[in-house]
Structure 1
Amino acid sequence: MSLSHNEKASLLPLEQDRPNQSYMGFSVKDSSEETKLTDTKDKRFPYLKLFSYTILIAIVISALSLSQLLPNKDDQVSSNFSIEIESIPEESFEEYSHLSLTPSNPIKINNKKFHGRFLHITDLHPDADYVEGSKISEVCHRGKPSSKHSSQYASKYGDAMRGCDAPMVLMDDTLDWIAKNLKDKIDFVIWTGDNIRHDNDRKIPRTEFKIFEMNKLVSREFSKIFHTETSPDPREFDVDVIPSLGNNDVYPHNLFSPGPTLQTRELWSIWQDYIPQEQLHIFEKGAYYMKEVIPGKLAVISLNTLYWFKANPLVDSCDSNKDPGYQHLRWFGIVLEELRERGMKVWLSGHVPPMPKNYQLSCYRKYAVWVSEYRDIIIGGVFGHMNTDHFMVMDTTKAYRSLVEDGVISGKELTNQMVEFLKEDELDEKDMDETLPADLLHLQASEEAHLLGAAPSGKEAYLDRFREQFLSKVKSKKKSGLQGERYSLSYIGTSVIPTFNPGFRIWEYDITGLEKTLHTKTTFKPWGVFFKEVDELLQAELEQAVKEEKEEATITGKKGKKKPDPTIPKPKPTGVPNGPG
């Protein structure tokens, strides 16, 4: 689903005026919830009839049923769980209808409620230097407009498409609205980064201290809303929060090196209440982690996409085992394998979305094939960064072709189905960037991040051409599989910063029968033990790689035998269903 700013305005009519849409196994229903965040005198926003800022809430209902996908029929309910099914009172139905939420009875497991919903929120970009009434041409930081024309001065809640970051009050009132209306209706929050303004004002340069302080402030706000009020434990939450690192959350922006570093340690200090303690060492090395959100059933992986980001000059590729992007993929694959072994499903989350325009080619194609080969457990991916509400489709066939033609893997390693896809598509080029127009590719990711800031420069053209030149190239069933298994979807969320209309998204999923699927038939090692072993394995592999490189350097002409690349997945096991992704 791709929306230009003009199309976004069309989300405002009543629900009955908007037909439901279907995307690759997801049924999607968009709605808007009008939240009056502006003074009644402030009547300058061009898209809304009531001239008040609007938080757009898009409700996405996934065709995922945990009761259908996860349980084994012979398993018994574990005595370790206290389970209670609650009922939504009829008087609350109107509230759910007003929010365009599907009323469903929550399931209480060990005093924690699960409703079958989560919140995705991204790119808040709060600006402590924003001055209401200042000149928009001065990035809303100073000056008084010479004209009384409303389009020249900064409004209380910011102005769509004008290029300023978000005033603090927009973030505060957005989070306040979420606390009052959604906190008791969601299971967890995926929060995908960029928690400070852009570095777009030379008179007020960002500093590392300011970046950390703003991230601390925003983190405290999330904690105040979702923490269990009655618990003295700072790590106990009514609603789990899963943060990811944005390219503007680091100093200088976009630049992030392998840890442990001051930045990874400071980020741990800021987010430690949200992240499982047993993953401290892994987080300090790479700022990525996994969070189990429904015990034994559902997890969220928070990716550090800066290690795959073209605009990060501190990383090279994902083909050398010393590269942080390679190590991240190695960790990613091990965790996916463990989740499959445990019969769990997983959401992927991160800041920079996976597309050739953003990722190093060597990283993008490997990520694409991992998502494809683990589509039996991966439900989907949610990202931010683009400040524009749309889906991204990854083509696994093109990724495999690129890997084969560059000699990273051999054709013998492909499944029969993938070989057939390649034969059907033999006229396609191997260039992973072919799906994006040339003029957009000339806008390198680093230039965009540095120059465009909050302004929606080129985004409308990007979406138009994305539809015309990318989505229109999605192949027929013969070339994409009966269930479209050639492709994987990633969702890119709208932002709170008013690049266009500010917004966030609620995702719904079916938890019917969840209480019947909690079992003890198979036991697994504690996550703490698992991640300790993963940390030790990755460290041993890195040390071995360094040792082998030194040995090869001392022997002229020695060429070691090529080993299988563990950052490329094995094909999905035969007979395993395609699953939700």
Structure 2
Amino acid sequence: MLLTSCILLLCTGLLDVSAAPQQVPFQAPAVAKPRKLHGRFLHITDMHPDPWYHQKTSEATACHRKKGKKKKNKAGYYGLPYSDCDSPFRLTNFTLDFIEKKWASEIDFVIWTGDNARHDNDRKLPRTPNEIYDLNRAVATKMASVFTSRGIPVVPSLGNNDVWPHNIMIPGPNSITNEFASIWKTFIPFPYLQIFQRGAYYAVEVVPDSLAIISLNTMYFYDSNKAVGGCQFKDRDDAGNLQFDWFEVQLKGFRARGMQVWITGHVPPSPGNYFPECYVRYVELALRFQDTIVGHLYGHMNADHFFFLEADDLELRDPPAAMGKEALFDTLIADFRAMPKAKNINLDNYAVVNVAPAVVPNPYLPGFRVFSYNATEGATSLGRKHGHPRGGGKNKEKQCKLDEYRETWKCKLNESWHSDPDAPSRSNQLWTPLGYAQYYIPHLEEGNKSHPPSFKLEYVTYGKGALEGKDDVYPVPLKNLPSRIKKRQTPYKLEDLTVGSWVALARKMGNSTKLGSFFKTYMYMT
């Protein structure tokens, strides 16, 4: 029932655009000729379709029953924005149909970072494993019809609401890894199937021998999952440690082959999300392989933002005092403001994490983003909370002899780092991320049966001049741009998405009320 309610007819057609180099996706259905790269990809996350959603019901019942008394808490035809309700299938289908029409012929691959089942927010209608799997199967079938059928690789990740109970996943192999191996059989390369069944992580070469995506199972790092050990150094068989061991081997292998890699998953790597020891291992690998990793893309937070992984996170420090809850925006701006002066920043010590907005209008508005990257051969360069304590780290050599620190990852990770100012993560060349365009539905509540809502361009990271294109190459196709670009849609004016560009933007935000206000507006979609 859920499957048939989610799938719509596939629009056919394949646009052959001249670009370089060629792309033959692994395990994709046969197409007439190898696809050319467009230099763009889609990041979509947190759809949360809800088969029990009913129009005009009350937000207090998760939009499942009882008539809403006021317009602001009454379920709309396409969803209820700024609410605790999940997505009607009408919204998820509308979103994917819009992307199919406007973007499927313009992108090279899809990063899809999880949560394709409803939240467990209705005690009178609890979720079941079968419902969760049915919802994921329905969305996966739709994704395959829109993208995989065109030869476009799709790389999904497991979300914390894709398991039952939510947030809890025991070490694999288990029923969850086995079920998703079946649900995602179209997307998982056969050589990774066995490792996927062990832990629900894998890699895909979206441009063979050149560009790969590593999809991590963040459930084994997420500190809300009490079924795992939290990557303790002594527990080498912990599910998180086993995944990191595999992750390190993948990075070494891709680096040895001269490839570049995107890292993706559901829950972003931050001190407030990951077990402390898992966070240390992630930061160390992110910085050690900065010359191989072009970026980190995540979902889960349902709020558009970016933040940094820093070398200071690997220093030994006393545990922080208990902190009150702070708004994410305030925490990030304070973090940006505390960054060193430009002349004192060593870019080897930073990695950037981008978190995309959700499709579900809970708690903001539906959104997705399309990245552009340099696909031109021979291109040349042109309790805990989030936050980074800086300076004043303890003497590692001395402290690591103490029992308190001896058996921790910070005292055991001593590999040489691979950073390079000329790597794609640091300078504009082949595979360097150049920017993204973000789309949203600003007036979701106005959509009805006869007048559907509209996706609009919310903002781009590019300057206005870049949207005019050069040599017939546009970071955003003209058909997907409004007739007039407003100033509020181009405040960042980034030339690219290298580490240095993000660090410079963060420093400006920390010292500019105006730029910070744009960041806040986009984060909360106000």
Match of 1:203 among 124, 128, 132: 124
1:135 and 1:152 in contact (8 A); partners too: yes
Relative to 1, partners in 2 of residues 1:106 and 1:185: Cα closer, same or farther, differing over 3 Å? farther
Does residue 260 of structure 1 match 2:176?
A: no
Please point out which of 118, 125, 130 is paired with 2:48: 125
Q: TM-score, normalised by structure 1?
A: 0.61
Pick the aligned partner of 2:376 from 512, 520, 530.
Answer: 512
Unaligned stretches of 5+ in structure 2?
1-14, 25-33, 380-405, 426-498, 500-526
Tell me how large the CA RMSD over aligned residues is. Answer: 2.6
Q: 1:293 to 1:569 in 2, by over 3 A?
A: farther
Q: Paired residue for 1:297?
A: 210
Q: Do residues 570 (structure 1) and 435 (structure 2) align?
A: no
- Corresponding residue for 1:285? 198
Who is 1:492 aligned against? 355
Q: Are residues 85 and 169 of structure 1, via their aligned partners in 2, closer, same or farther at CA, if it must alter by over 3 Å?
A: closer
- In structure 2, the CA distance between the partners of 1:199 and 1:577, relative to structure 1 (3 Å rule), is same
Q: Deviations over 1:54-112 (max 9, x none)?
A: xxxxxxxxxxxxxxxxxxxxxxxxxxxxxx9944xxxxxxxxxxxxxxxxx46544512
Which residue does the alignment assign to 1:179?
A: 100
8 Å contact 1:333–1:567 — kept in the other structure? no
Which of 135, 141, 145 is the aligned partner of 1:224? 145
Indicate the structure (1 or 2) with the bigger Cα radius of gyration. Answer: 1
Distance in 1 between residues matched to 2:105 and 2:412, nearest whole Å: 40
**Which one-letter code corresponds to 2:156 in the other structure?**
P
2:18 matched to 1:153? no
Q: Is the 8 A contact 2:73 2:83 kept in 1?
A: no
Are the structure 2 counterparts of residues 575 and 109 from structure 1 closer, same or farther at C-alpha, using a change threshold of 3 Å?
closer
The CA deviation string for residues 316-345 of structure 1, in whole angstroms up to 9 with x for no partner, is: 121221101111111011110111100000
Aligned equivalents of 2:191, 2:414: Cα separation in 1: 26
Asked whether 1:391 is paired with 2:306, we answer yes
Asked if 1:465 corresponds to 2:330, the answer is yes
1:382 aligns with 2:302: no
| From 354, 366, 384, the counterpart of 2:269 | 354
- Aligned counterpart, 2:238: 323
Q: Is the 8 A contact 2:157 2:216 kept in 1?
A: yes
Alpha-carbon distance change, 220 to 471 in structure 1, aligned in 2, over 3 angstroms: same
Return the TM-score normalized by structure 2.
0.67
Q: Distance in 2 between matches of 1:298 and 1:398?
A: 28
Match of 1:363 in 2: 278
Distance change >3 Å, CA 576–CA 502, structure 1 → 2:
closer
Query: Counterpart of 2:327 in 1: which secondary structure?
Result: helix
Deviation of 1:566 after TM superposition, in Å, equals 12
Structure 1 residues 124 and 567, CA gap change in structure 2 (3 angstroms): farther
CA distance in 1, matches of 2:277, 2:407: 18
* C-alpha distance in structure 2 between counterparts of 1:493 and 1:109, whole Å: 26
> 1:478 Cα shift?
5.1
Q: Per the alignment, do residues 214 and 86 of structure 1 end up closer, same or farther by CA in structure 2, a change over 3 Å counting?
A: closer
| TM-aligned CA deviation for residue 574 of structure 1 | 8.0
**In 2, distance between residues paired with 1:573 and 1:471?**
25
Shift in alpha-carbon separation, 1:260–1:478, aligned structure 2, 3 A: same
CA pair 362-478 structure 1, distance change in 2 beyond 3 A? farther
Alignment check: 8 A CA contact 1:292 1:299 kept: yes
2:96 counterpart letter in structure 1: L
Equivalent residue of 1:126, what SS? coil
Task: Report whether the alignment pairs 1:141 with 2:32.
Answer: no
TM-aligned CA distance change 1:112 to 1:507, over 3 Å: same
Which residue in the other structure is 1:10 paired with? none
How far apart, in 2, do the equivalents of 1:496 and 1:510 lie?
Answer: 27
- State the match for 2:135 in structure 1: 214
> C-alpha displacement at 1:160, in angstroms?
1.8
SS class of match (2:308) = strand
CA contact (8 A) 1:330 1:567 kept: no
Of 424, 427, 439, which aligns to 2:324? 439
Q: Name the SS for the 1:166 alignment partner.
A: coil
Q: Could you list the structure 1 runs, at least 4 aligned residues long, displaced by more than 3 angstroms after superposition.
A: 84-87, 105-110, 561-569, 573-579
Cα deviation, residue 480, structure 1:
2.8
Shift in alpha-carbon separation, 1:480–1:430, aligned structure 2, 3 A? farther
The code of the aligned residue for 2:62 comes to V
Distance 2:418 2:17 in 1: 39
SS state of the match for residue 206, structure 1? coil
Residues of 1 paired with 2:195 and 2:412: CA distance? 17
CA deviations on 1:419-461 (whole Å, 9 max, x unpaired) are: xxxxxxxxxx554x68xx9223xxxxxxxxxxxxxxxxxxxx5
Change (3 A) 1:275 1:395: same
SS in 1 for 2:324: helix
- Map 1:529-548 to 2 at 5 A: none
| Amino acid aligned to 1:245 | L
Residue 340 and residue 218 in structure 1: after superposition, are their counterparts in 2 closer, same or farther (change >3 A)? same
Distance 1:246 1:504 in 2: 17
Q: Give the fraction of aligned pairs with identical amino acids, expressed as a percent.
A: 38
Q: Distance in 1 between matches of 2:308 and 2:318?
A: 16
Q: Do 1:86 and 1:108's aligned partners in 2 also have CA atoms closer than 8 Å? A: no
Q: Which SS does the other structure have where 1:485 is aligned? A: helix
- 1:116 maps to 2:39: yes
Deviation at 1:202, TM superposition (A): 0.7
**1:177-226 residue CA offsets vs partner (Å, 9 max, x unmatched):** 01111001000000000001100001110001111111101100001111
Conservation of the 8 A alpha-carbon contact between 2:23 and 2:207? no
- CA distance in 1 between partners of 2:202 and 2:50 (Å): 28
